[in-house]
Structure 1
Amino acid sequence: MTKIPIKGVVSSNDDAVIYNWLGMDCASPKQVEDALATNDGNVEVNIASGGGSVAAASEIYTMLKAYSGKVIVNIQGLAASAASVIAMAGDEINMSPTAQMMIHKASMYTAGNADDLNHDAKSLDVADQSIINAYEAKTGLGRDDLLQMMANETWMSAQDALDKGFVDNISTGSQQSQVVNAIATPMLNATAMDKIRTVLAQSKKPAPVKTVDNLQEKGKPTPSLRDQKLAILLGKDDE
């Protein structure tokens, strides 16, 4: 049976390139699409993620719901935020007894005038309603009740999730579980993403031809890719 990991940040396809380059776990729609394209039987989706992009999670959820085979979801550690939406795509949803699920309202970083902020607030309301669609279809709970749970940032143990209809079973088999107490998987901000894209672009350029002149140039040596990665993550790349 094909196993599809949803681990780390739920990201767009473009951002997944950066997370992979940094050696950070992530799950993107393209990764799921590729896994489904090479399989015609049942699939297992193993989730341990604090969430990420609402749009990417929606795309993954839609692909899994449309898949012709049976989709078995195993929540192994944390299924929070956008990752909990992906979990709702399972025909059978199993949750480790040590795992947790968290649902909350969508959020974004924003700036601008009153019109901009009002527009973004309406966009977030639409995002919340789309998320509720997934929860409602699985649990049968009322939309107002689900919205209140999201507003309260509701954390659920395996038993809580089972009682409320978010999962079908509490697993007792051989799945490896993780103890989790983090609210979300760290996501890189837009500034860090832009800096990393610059470094990636530079790394793809051909090496300069060595000449007598540039061999005699004085100054700091060009840092390795590893050092550039560390500088970006530590916020020291502008020093």
Structure 2
Amino acid sequence: MTAHARSKSDKPSKTSKGPGRSLMERAALRSRSVLLFGPIESALTRDVVRQILILDQMSQSKPITVYVNSPGGLADDGFAIYDVLRFVRAPVTTVVTGLAASAATIVMVGAPQDRRFVLPHSRIMLHQPSTGIRGTASDIAISAKEILRLRHKANELFVRETGKPIDVIERDMHRDFWMSAQEAVDYGLLTKVVDSATDLPS
């Protein structure tokens, strides 16, 4: 996951528009599914949060399923989606479909501990936040302090969501920590490896 203060040169990715996207969105709304595919940045976060809030307004009793296939991205955006998943009243399920790495693991654990699922050939990767720090000595010192605070927040999140002690989480997140689907279940990040949509809770 990346700790990053967006500069003027950062350009949000363009989201496709047109009838094809509209049809897909309507189909997703009908099935109460949200696709989080690709790098986690502001444009994707905006779309995902909007869909989640719309689905929650449509029904607070029917579940929302978030499918995650992402290499990660901005930690702040990952936490933003996590917070919204916890904020809504509708039951939330997350399903990893391929890859959940870095900031995507924050989103992955946005569902309750008994509603996090993973497809058999998926991979999961935890690591500590990173940043490319530039600027004056004062700016670098401020950024270094902020990334330490972000690392602590991420560590505390995974302690809470896995039940593992802080020293284990700090050790494992110090470098890239890769897990298979079953290893992520055994680690406490996910509930179960599933082969079929019928295995998901209603």
Normalised by the shorter chain, which TM-score bucket?
0.7 to 0.9
1:145 equivalenced with 2:168 (yes/no): yes
User: Do 2:56 and 2:90's aligned partners in 1 also have CA atoms closer than 8 Å?
Assistant: no
User: Do 1:32 and 1:60's aligned partners in 2 also have CA atoms closer than 8 Å?
Assistant: no
Which residue in 2 is equivalent to 1:81?
102
Of 117, 138, 143, the residue aligned with 1:115 is 138
Give 3-state SS (helix, strand or coil) of 2:195's partner. coil
Instruction: Select the structure of larger CA radius of gyration.
Output: 1
1:60 equivalenced with 2:90 (yes/no): no
Which residue in 2 is equivalent to 1:155?
178
Unaligned runs of 5+ in 2: 1-30
Structure 1 residue 35: deviation in Å?
4.0
Amino acid in the other structure paired with 2:41: S
Which residue in 1 is equivalent to 2:57?
37
Amino acid in the other structure paired with 1:68: R
Q: Return closer, same or farther for 1:119/1:99 CA change in 2, 3 Å cut-off.
A: same
1:162-201 matched pairs, under 5 angstroms: 162-174=185-197
Aligned partners of 1:107, 1:129: CA distance in 2, in Å? Answer: 13
Aligned partners of 1:42, 1:86: CA distance in 2, in Å? Answer: 16
**Cα-to-partner distance string for 1:106-126 (whole Å, 9 max, x where unaligned):** 112221233322221111111
Structure 1 residue 31: deviation in Å?
4.4
Amino acid in the other structure paired with 1:135: F
| TM-score, with length taken from structure 2 | 0.74
**Cα-to-partner distance string for 1:127-154 (whole Å, 9 max, x where unaligned):** 1111123212210011221122111210
Which residue in 2 is equivalent to 1:129?
152
Aligned partners of 2:55, 2:103: CA distance in 1, in Å? Answer: 20
Give 3-state SS (helix, strand or coil) of 1:10's partner. coil
| TM-score, with length taken from structure 1 | 0.63
Which residue in 2 is equivalent to 1:183?
none
Give 3-state SS (helix, strand or coil) of 1:52's partner. coil
**Cα-to-partner distance string for 1:170-206 (whole Å, 9 max, x where unaligned):** 111159xxxxxxxxxxxxxxxxxxxxxxxxxxxxxxx
Q: How many residues align?
A: 163
RMSD: 1.8
Amino acid in the other structure paired with 1:54: A
